[in-house]
Amino acid sequence: MKNTIRVHQFHGGIHPPENKKQSTGAPISLAPLPSRIILPLQQHIGLPADPIVKVGDRVLKGQRVAEAIGRISANIHASISGTVVDIGPHPVPHVSGMDADCLVIESDGQDEWIEHQGLPDYTQLAKPELIEYIRQAGVAGMGGAGFPTDVKLHLGDDHIVNTLIINAAECEPYITADDMLMRERADEILGGIEIIAHLLKPLHIMVGIEDNKPQAIRALHDALDKSHLNLDIVITPTKYPSGGEKQLIKLLTGVEVPSGKIPADVGIVCQNVGTTTAVYRAVILGEPLISRIMTVTGESANHKQNYEVRIGTPIADLLNHSGVDRAQMQRLIIGGPMMGITVTNEQIPVIKTTNCLIAASIHEMPPQPPAQACIRCGMCEQVCPAELLPQQLYWFAKGKEFDKARHHNLFDCIECGACSYVCPSNIPLVQYYRFAKAEIRKEDDEQRKADHARLRFEARLARLERDKIEKEERRKQRAIEAAAAQAAKKDAAFNKAASPATNNPTDAGVPDLKQLKSNAAIARTKLRKAEKALANAQDKGLDGIETLQATLKQLQLKSELAEKAYTEAQQAPAKSAAAPETDLKQLKSNAAIARTKLKKAEKQLAAAEAGGEGDIDALKAQVVALQAKSADAEKAYQAADSGTVSPVAIDTSALEAEIATLQGKVDKAENAWKAAVESGSPAAEKMAAGVEKLKEKLTGLQAELTQARSAVQPAATVDTSALDTEIATLQGKVDKAENAWKAAVESGSPAAEKMAAGVEKLKEKLTGLQAELTQARSAVQPAATVDTSALDAEITTLQGKVDKAENAWKAAVESGSPAADKMAAGVEKLKEKLKGLQAELTQAKGHLETNAEGKAEEAPAIDLKALKQQVSIMRTKLKKAEKQLAELPEGEDNASLMAEIEALRARHDAAKASFDAAEADKIAAAASEGIDLKQLKIDAALARAAVTKAERALSKAEQESKQSLETELLSIRAKADKLNATLERFSD
Amino acid sequence: MSAVLVAVLVLLGLGLVFGILLGYSSIRFKVEGNPLVDQVDALLPQTQCGQCGHPGCRPYAEAIVNGEAINKCPPGGQSTVEALADLLDVEALPLDAEDAEEPIKKVAYIREDECIGCTKCIQACPVDAILGAAKQMHTVIVSECTGCDLCVEPCPVDCIDMLPLEPSLNNWQWPAPKPGIELIATDRQPGIALEVKG
């Protein structure tokens, strides 16, 4: 059989005795069912698997017993059915001979499979799912390192895989596991290759096989030539270590994998033949990796052959089965003679990567002769397949110059042992390299750890520093707070001591009104007692009157102070707008008290005046003071009231009922009073006072009601008609009262004055109601259509009245009538009314206008141009008239002309005013859109000027510069147009 | 005369110019801190154990730069001494410690049953490798412990031990091969070699 592919060369290599023939004589046989298996949780680099069964659990053959954690990790399955008897340390195949965690399963002898099912049509499955399926089966590289296969199958995701190489070289002496596998199970290999090719989609597949396995080559050809894949079987010359991954790649493709890179980086993926069968079994048959082909050989073994061995079988079982003569066995080696490890414990289990067991006799593998000095022969360099300088590396390793060893690419050494094999001084070179590698790794690890520790140490120092600063700050803060608290305490103590003397409630924060009140009351009672005592003393002519008087004075002073403090405290919250929680009731009662006090004082004054006794001046002064106080109190109350009423909804009906009852009472009282007056009863005065009080109450309530109503009005529809009727009835009352009063005056009745007061009151009420009515109407107006025509009519009638009244007045003046003054007042009133109505009318019209404007922005109600025209007409007329006046000769009667000019001027002014107003409106409208009308006008003018300028420039310009000028003109024109359009919008 | 004067003036001018240049560059390119301290600190094992008599590795690095002996770091061992000697180009002194052997890597271990939760060891640990709270059991985060044994002294109940790291498959490493007979075969029979030569 000949290669169709040129085989390349790799540097170095050796030809040790093969010793393969011994174990190829017999076909693969099934090793006996072990009585117990030991499954190490870590069988390769990466993370150990995590057991998912407990001691005592029964497991079936093929059941997953440990789960992969992390990416580079593989599941582990039970290879027999039985019971888990132990999870713990157990000897494992490792050079150190140390124990590691293992899962021990005792067989139940039934060898019962767990339910499993293959994927005959795996091409239907998505790639990641298929790879996951293979991962679940725990497939790992069967050649050497036992690298989880699924990781390699994922290489197609981020690498372009051109070539898939199937490693069938099996270059190490003694081992024939792959050879026998190829001879007997070539179909399975083909199936596995197809699955891997399906996943990686390589352009080319090469099976590299050494020429010392002709039967395997033939079997492979028989099986693989049927394949539709682009597959070549490449036969390589027998040379150790052609089975090394990088060496085989060099042999088959001539490509050298760069140092520190993986084959996938150059588009190549390598898989062992054993792995392909494992993949085939996992995917097609659904069997996880629970057994492998393994060679048992060596001179001391009786049956040197290959067995299909369950993973976890102790090697002692295999040795017994193949009849190893323990007496003859000098060394027991797991793996090949070049790279394998020597073990002593026969309880070590077979793992996924165990491909050979050599029970060597002393004759076969004599003990290593003692190492001698390196003679610098350079043979090691000749055989090194990695093209390193083994001798140099040896010196560095021996001298512990690890950095230099690293720089001589120590980590490219594959530890194949070729250099040691050829060394004439028997130097264990590979051991030196392994040691150097371990030392370098350890140093790196320590450096990493030291850096980590430094980071942690620095972080800790920073934290301590931070804590210290924070603590210091907290301490300072606390000190400041404590100092502040101390100061506040001192202040408070000082204020306490000072406040009784100064009576200054604002310093102490919230004024204690009650305290002040009680203080004032105590002072008052003391004063009264003192007064009584004094009076008593004076009456009886006792001694010590002077002292009593002095005390009395002191007490008076004290009492005054207390009272003053109290009233001040009371007024303080009313005056301050910031204090919203003013006690309205308190204020109201204050006002009432002030009023009653005032009245009392007035009465006293009147009595004093009538009696001609007492200090009238003093009383008068008191009255004045009280009046001021009363006014203050009332003002405060009103201010507070108007500020608070709006948000509350007041039950007006209740108020109304109260008012009605009160009204009844008032009427009754008044009747009684009148009767008393008429009968000349002495109780009349008292009754008058009672009526007065009642009336006051009534007015208070009414005020409350109106307020409540005004609060309700904006929301509810206002019943203005009710107000109207009320006003009408009141008007009637007023008229009646006035008549009565006039009658009384005419008859000289003493009650006339009182009646006058009553009339005054009624009138006040009437005006109040009228004000309310107008308010209500104005409130309704913005929403409803305003009946301006009615107002107009009213105004005209009023105007007529005014004219009439004026005429009458003039007549009266001319006739020298004494009623002229009164008439003048009446005319004045009428005029006022007229003005009010006119104001109302303009307001209503203004409302209408704004409404209209709101509805139609673009169509302003006022025609600016028309207004302007009017103004100009007026101006011209005025000027004409003035000219006429000037042209008139002196001394002539120019009065009528003057009057005309006056009238014209007035008209002109009015027209101008209306025009100005309209213009102002326009500007305001523009401003509301963010445009300054004046600025806009200026801008537009400037733009227009720019356009004309540009046009002129264009007409004058040369041919070349015309184009740019044209574009410039266009842009300027566009700008001007825009500005003009905006301007037009606001100026019609 | 004038030639001498010119020469003097020229030299004076040159001196002035270079003086200004040097003065400026010493300000402009001023190196903050001593970079050598960083290099020395990087070689020290960062156990922060204080066995050198300094409160941490960096202070010792500063002291070394200022002329202190380089052999006062027992956790670093002889290899650290040699690395420092290499860096500073000084004589590699033998390690100044009671047992000059290569130090065995140790980590602190708290006998948790005896721990009273006093937090004294937490405050002593320079790398925050002890986990715990007042009146709660404490434990050492083994992967963070540098083996400085600073936590052993403060423990009031002596429940902290320094234990060597258990060897496992993960931290096992190939031992150094036993040195062979450092003679070539012919050297053992000097006569033969001499005969050949002669």
With a cut of 80, say whether residue A303 has pLDDT above it.
yes
Place of tokens 């099976």: A207
Is A844:A788 a contact under the CB 8 Å cutoff? Answer: yes
pLDDT value of residue A318: 93
Interface residues from chain B to A (CB-CB < 8 Å): 41, 44-48, 56-57, 126-129, 144, 146, 167-169, 172-177, 179-185, 187
> Which member of B48, B173, B180 has the closest CB to residue A370?
B180
Residues B145 and B114 in one domain: yes
Q: What is the pLDDT of residue A791?
A: 66
What local confidence, expressed as pLDDT, does residue A102 receive? Answer: 93
How close, in Å, is residue A239 to chain B by CA atoms? 28
* Phi, psi torsion values for A236, nearest 5 degrees: -110, 150
pLDDT tens-digit series, residues A426-443: 999 999 999 999 999 988
B83 and B113 share a domain?
A: no
Residues in chain A closer than 8 A to B45 (CB atoms)? 446, 450
Distance from CA of A569 to the nearest CA of B (A): 58
Query: Residue B93 domain-assigned?
Result: no
* Candidate from A215-224, A385-394, B133-142, B159-168 with smallest mean pLDDT: B159-168
What mean pLDDT is predicted for residues A696-708? 72
Residues of chain A positioned with their CB less than 8 A from the CB of B168: 98, 100
List CB contacts (< 8 A) between A96 and chain B. Answer: 167, 169, 172
Task: Quickly count: other Cβ atoms within 10 Å of residue A514's Cβ.
Answer: 10
User: Mean per-residue pLDDT for A757-770?
Assistant: 72
* CA dist., res. A841 & res. A846, Å (int): 8
Which of these three, A255, A287, A319, is where a domain ends?
A287
Say how far apart CA A871 and CA A432 lie, in whole Å: 117
DSSP string, A735-788: HHHHHHHHHHHHHT-TTHHHHHHHHHHHHHHHHHHHHHHHHHHHHHTTTSPP-H
Question: Which residues in chain B have Cβ-Cβ distances shorter than 8 Å to A370?
Answer: 180-181
Is there a single domain that holds both residue A804 and residue A678?
A: no
Contact state of A439 with B168 under an 8 Å Cβ cutoff: no
Q: For residue range B115-151, what is the model confidence (pLDDT) as tens digits? A: 998 999 999 998 899 999 988 889 999 888 988 888 9
What pLDDT score does A745 carry? Answer: 66
Do A831 and A707 lie in one domain? The reply is no
Q: Do the chains contact at B57 and A454, CB–CB below 8 Å?
A: yes
A881 or A182, which is more confident: A182
Write out the H or E segment, with its range, that includes residue B167: none
Q: Do B177 and A431 touch (CB under 8 A)?
A: yes
Pairing of strands A204-210, A163-167: parallel
Residues with Cβ within 8 Å of A162's Cβ and at least 6 positions away in sequence, in order, are: A202, A203, A204, A267, A268
pLDDT band at A537; cut points 50, 70, 90: confident
A100 CB neighbours in chain B (<8 A) are: 168-169
What is the nearest CA distance from A368 to chain B, expressed in angstroms? Answer: 11
Q: Is B145 annotated as a binding residue?
A: yes
Interface residue of A449, A464, A467 to substitute, partner B, most B CBs within 10 Å = A449
Report ipTM for this prediction.
0.79
Q: Which residues on chain B are in Cβ contact (under 8 Å) with A94?
A: 169, 172
CA B121 distance to own-chain centroid:
24
Interchain CB distance below 8 Å, B181 and A434 = no
**Beta strands B160-164; A64-67: pairing state:** unpaired
Average of per-residue pLDDT across A642-660: 57
Residues of B in contact with A454 (CB under 8 A): 41, 46, 57
Quick check: B167 and A442 CB within 8 A? no
Distance to chain B for A428, nearest Cα, Å: 8
Instruction: Tell me the pLDDT tens digit for each residue of A807-831.
Output: 767 766 666 655 566 666 766 777 7
- DSSP letters, A81-129, are -EEEEEEEEEE-S-TT--EEEEEEEEE-S--PBPP----TTGGGS-HHH
B81 plus B128 within the same structural domain = no
Q: What is the pLDDT of residue A798?
A: 72
Of A462, A497, A532, the one marking the end of a domain is: A497
Numbered residues of the known binding site of A for [4Fe-4S] cluster = 374, 377, 380, 384, 413, 416, 419, 423
CB contact (8 A) between residue A371 and residue B185? no
Contact state of B48 with A451 under an 8 Å Cβ cutoff: no
Same domain? B122 vs B150 = yes
Tokens of A76: 């582990």
Banded pLDDT at A508 (limits 50, 70, 90) = very low
Residues with Cβ within 8 Å of A11's Cβ and at least 6 positions away in sequence, in order, are A384, A385, A386, A387
DSSP state of A227: -
Task: Please report the DSSP string for A310-356 in residue order.
Answer: ETT-BHHHHHHHTT--TTTEEEEEES-TTT-EEE--TTPBP-TT--E
In angstroms, the separation between the Cα of residue A243 and the nearest Cα of chain B is 24
Owner of token pair 């206002």: A718
Q: Has residue A750 been placed in a domain?
A: no
Q: Among A269, A287, A305, give the residue marking a domain's end.
A: A287
Please state which of the ranges A23-37, A358-372, A687-701 shows the lowest mean pLDDT.
A687-701
Number of domains comprising chain A: 5
Nearest beta carbon to residue B177 from set A375, A428, A456: A428
CB–CB of B167 and A98 under 8 A?
yes
Q: Tell me: the pLDDT tens digits for B161-185? A: 988 887 777 778 888 887 766 555 5
Q: Which amino acid is at A853?
A: E
Residue B159 annotated as part of some ligand binding site: no
Q: How many domains does chain B have?
A: 2
Q: Which domain holds residue A674?
A: 652-712
pLDDT tens by residue, A153-189: 888 778 888 999 999 999 999 999 999 999 999 999 9
pLDDT in tens, A113-137: 999 888 878 888 888 899 999 999 9
Residue B78 sits in which domain range? 35-88
Q: Are residues B160 and B112 in the same domain?
A: yes
Domain containing residue B65: CATH number: 1.10.15.40
Among A334-338, A954-958, B26-30, the range scoring the smallest mean pLDDT is: A954-958
| Contact assignment for A435 to B176 by CB distance below 8 Å | yes
Residue A667 has pLDDT above 80, yes or no: no
The structure tokens listed for A812 are 């009266």
Residue A869's pLDDT band, with cuts at 50, 70 and 90, is confident
Would A113 be classed as within a structural domain? no
Q: Classify residue B69: in a domain, yes or no.
A: yes
pTM of the model: 0.56
Q: Return all residues near A582 (Cβ < 8 A) that are at least 6 apart.
A: A573, A574, A640, A643, A644
Tell me if A942 sits within 8 A of A976, measured CB to CB. Answer: no
Same domain, A677 and A815: no
Tell me, what's the pLDDT at A792? 67
Q: What is the mean pLDDT of residues A490-517?
A: 62
B115 appears as a binding residue in the annotation: yes
Per-residue pLDDT at A850 exceeds 80: no
B112 and B74 part of one domain: no
CB contact under 8 A, A432 and B41: no
Three-state DSSP state, A659: helix
CATH code assigned at B124: 3.30.70.20
Which residues of A touch chain B, with CB atoms under 8 Å apart?
42, 92, 94-96, 98, 100, 370-373, 375, 398, 425-428, 431-432, 434-435, 437-439, 441-442, 446, 449-454, 456-457, 459-460
Strand ordering across the sheet containing A341-343: A29-30, A305-310, A291-297, A356-361, A329-334, A341-343
Residue B99 covered by a domain: no
- A92: tokens are 């494992």
Of the partner residues A370, A372, A450, the one whose CB lies closest to the CB of residue B45: A450
**Residue A744 or residue A601, greater confidence:** A601
Residue B115 lies in a domain: yes
Are B48 and A428 inside 8 Å of each other by CB? no
Determine whether the interchain pair A460/B169 forms a contact, defined as Cβ–Cβ distance below 8 Å. Answer: no
B172 contacts in chain A (CB < 8 Å):
94, 96, 98
CATH number at residue A241: 3.40.50.11540
